[in-house]
Amino acid sequence: MKQSTINALRDILGEGDLKTNEKMSAHTSFRVGGEADAFITPRSDDQIVECIKVLRNEKERYFIMGNGTNLLVSDEGYRGCVIQLFKNYGEVSVFGNNITAKAGAPLMRICNEAAKRGLSGLEFACGIPGTLGGAVTMNAGAYGAEMVKVVRIVRVLDLKYMMKSEYAASEMNFSYRHSLVKEEPLIVLEVEMELMKGDEEVIRRRMDDFKAQRAAKQPIDVPSAGSTFKRPEGHYAGKLIEDAGLKGKRLGGAQISDKHAGFIINANNASAKDILRLMIDTQKTVFEKFHVKLEPEICFLGWK
């Protein structure tokens, strides 16, 4: 990346919110990934807009990420700028039954805030490790519920016109692991959610139950990116993989979890290439045995 670009970004952000040659393994739940040329953590809508304008003017590539819980970065890294909307961009506020939060707010933090205020409807999300922006982009869900059930308004940056706008939930084209953000050049900036009045003790019991179920069934104590593949229509990815005899299979340091076959984990200093090879091998085997195509649920960065 050109030094002129680095200098311009630093002028906008200050010294502390810009890093160069940053190892992405420090920012992904897989704990893999090479260096990004630049890694920035904006604190406001205006900083996001100004940084993107600089990158476009300088013809530099950029990628928007949350806290990296659904991302596989190549071992070669990313020749461009990673814009992380996470800790510096995570304000949460509550008014009545509504919670409004910036895209970088972790779902767990929002769930805890809802419980503290006696607001019900987000309990299903209490174990999802990602940020609100990522959860809305993917219409994240668990235990029979999805973000579409609670989202009221989504405020975005439209990259086509470099203008901020907002969409009602009904305009977001929500479906399984999909939203309008996957179709159009939009960045989620802020989300308003509408919840229901409830009892804090009951809400926390439900959250604790979901957490216990997740801990019992999923390999949450080892590096992974959650469910590796989307649920194929009429099937469950984990069951297909297990029925194909792949549970526990290893390639290099990557392994199909022997606790839940729907998860590929970094079992022993895996490389990103190990994980990708195991994903491809799994897709091939499942298709050969069951004629079902497994689609990745995780996102990819820096691959040629």
Q: Annotated active-site positions, please?
A: 177, 227, 297
Longest Cα–Cα distance of the chain, Å, equals 56
Of 88, 71, 69, 87, the C-alpha closest to 36 is 71
List, in order, residues 6 or more apart from 212 with CB less than 8 Å away.
none
Of 192, 208, 189, the C-alpha closest to 115 is 208
Q: How far apart are alpha carbons 182 and 98 in whole angstroms?
A: 25
| Tokens, residue 83 | 């814009």
Whether 62 and 54 have beta carbons less than 8 Å apart is answered as no
Of 98, 75, 86, 161, the C-alpha closest to 130 is 86
Euclidean distance between the first and final Cα of the chain, in Å?
18
Whether 133 and 66 have beta carbons less than 8 Å apart is answered as yes
Strand (E) or helix (H) holding 137: helix 132-137
